[in-house]
């Protein structure tokens, strides 16, 4: 792989991917409209401020650069918002992705890594979730991701456009050097919310339900370090470059941690009490959501390098401290 287009590369996961590609010696062009990303998060390659909805811009880019592959991170990700405003999610996550795929076809780019989600599965019928688990998403966000996966399977069969869909569970952590991390506005992810409460940047973190069928009554989730996610994308690109066909993998570290365990680990790492407030269960929140990542381990040789919850939180806390110092 000599030149890669990273769509949505100024966001949380995308910026770590751009950094990793730079370390691998790959030439990168990042396309991002900055509606949720940050220009200063791009640490390698050329940056283009624009949107995949702009077909003229896409044509210009593909004519200029001659990409070997595309990595697609550009999507809206808030489940609750997708329920309130499904049109926004179907237009951005689905329609705009079709525009990207058509531009790729027109310019002979036949390899894509797609940022999918565990939300395609809906309510778990069993855990951990493997690739064979039934796919019954319960919100527009999850449905938009599943629709793209189905489209990519069709494009692979009909047009030879090969893809790997990576179904994330809970991305977490930050770059160990604290120069990249999580900056969502609004923030909806547990670990940064807990750390912001510890740092005094928000009054409290909310625990949504303590009556689940789990050992401590709080939800259990699978947290995977963001650089382990980036490494999985790199291996997926090598797989396609070596002639691999269209496929999909679940991507988590295979360990489940409860909300209470995350809070306890954060208090240990920060040395501070975490102010909490109690909330009721959120609709659609399953008690347990843990990945079976056997598929990607066997097929691509991927292994998480930072699977421990405390190490993941430690990197996120270093980033949080850096944010406070630079404020």
Structural domains of the chain, with CATH: 3-171+224-251 (3.40.50.720), 173-222+254-326 (3.90.25.10)
Output the CA–CA distances (angstroms, integers) from residue 263 to 119, 280, 293, 317, in the order listed.
Answer: 24, 17, 25, 13
Residue 206 has pLDDT above 70, yes or no: yes
13-31 pLDDT, tens digit per residue, is 999 999 999 999 999 999 9
Residue 324: which pLDDT band, with cuts at 50, 70 and 90? confident
Give the residue, 34 or 286, on which the prediction is more confident.
34
Task: Give which of 250, 260, 163 is closest to 209, Cα–Cα.
Answer: 260
CA dist 20 and 180 (Å) reads 12
Interval 121-150 mean pLDDT: 95
For all residues of the chain together, what is the average pLDDT? 95
Residue 66 has pLDDT above 70, yes or no: yes
Reported pTM: 0.95
Interval 214-241 mean pLDDT: 97
Interval 8-12 mean pLDDT: 96
Active site residues: 141
How is residue 282 annotated by DSSP?
P
261-319 pLDDT, tens digit per residue, is 999 999 999 999 999 999 998 877 888 999 999 999 999 999 999 999 999 999 999 99
CA dist 140 and 151 (Å) reads 16
Interval 83-93 mean pLDDT: 95
Residue 219: which pLDDT band, with cuts at 50, 70 and 90? very high
Task: Give which of 140, 138, 137, 136 is closest to 86, Cα–Cα.
Answer: 140
- Range with the lowest mean pLDDT among 50-59, 148-157, 315-324? 315-324
Find the distance separating the first CA and the last CA of the chain, reported in whole Å.
38
Residue 184 has pLDDT above 90, yes or no: no
């Amino acid at each position: 792989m000599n030149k890669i287009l990273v769509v949505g590369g100024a966001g949380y996961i995308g910026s770590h991917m751009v950094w990793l590609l730079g370390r691998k010696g790959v030439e990168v062009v990042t396309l991002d409209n900055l509606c949720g990303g940050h220009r200063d998060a791009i640490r390698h390659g050329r940056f283009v401020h624009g949107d995949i909805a702009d077909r003229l811009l896409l044509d210009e880019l593909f004519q200029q650069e001659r990409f070997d592959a595309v990595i697609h991170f550009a999507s809206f990700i808030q489940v609750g918002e997708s329920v309130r405003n499904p049109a926004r999610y179907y237009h951005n996550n689905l329609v705009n992705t079709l525009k990207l795929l058509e531009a790729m076809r027109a310019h002979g780019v036949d390899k894509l890594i797609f940022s999918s989600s565990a939300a395609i599965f809906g309510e778990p019928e069993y855990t951990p979730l493997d690739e064979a688990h039934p796919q019954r998403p319960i919100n527009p966000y999850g449905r938009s991701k599943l629709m793209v996966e189905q489209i990519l399977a069709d494009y692979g069969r009909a047009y030879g456009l090969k893809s790997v869909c990576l179904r994330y569970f809970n991305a977490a952590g930050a770059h160990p050097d604290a120069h990249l991390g999580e900056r969502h506005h609004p923030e909806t992810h547990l670990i940064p919310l807990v750390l912001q409460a510890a740092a005094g940047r928000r009054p409290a973190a909310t625990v949504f339900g303590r009556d689940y069928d789990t050992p401590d009554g709080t939800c259990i989730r699978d947290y995977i370090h963001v650089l382990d996610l980036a490494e999985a994308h790199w291996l997926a690109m090598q797989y396609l470059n070596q002639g691999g066909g269209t496929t999909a993998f679940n991507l988590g570290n295979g360990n489940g941690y409860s909300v209470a365990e995350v809070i306890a680990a954060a208090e240990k790492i920060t040395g501070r009490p975490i102010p909490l407030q109690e909330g009721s269960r959120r609709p659609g929140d399953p008690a347990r959501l843990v990945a079976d990542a056997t598929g990607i381990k066997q097929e691509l040789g991927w292994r998480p390098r930072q699977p421990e919850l405390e190490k993941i939180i430690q990197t996120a806390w270093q980033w949080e401290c850096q944010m406070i110092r630079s404020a």
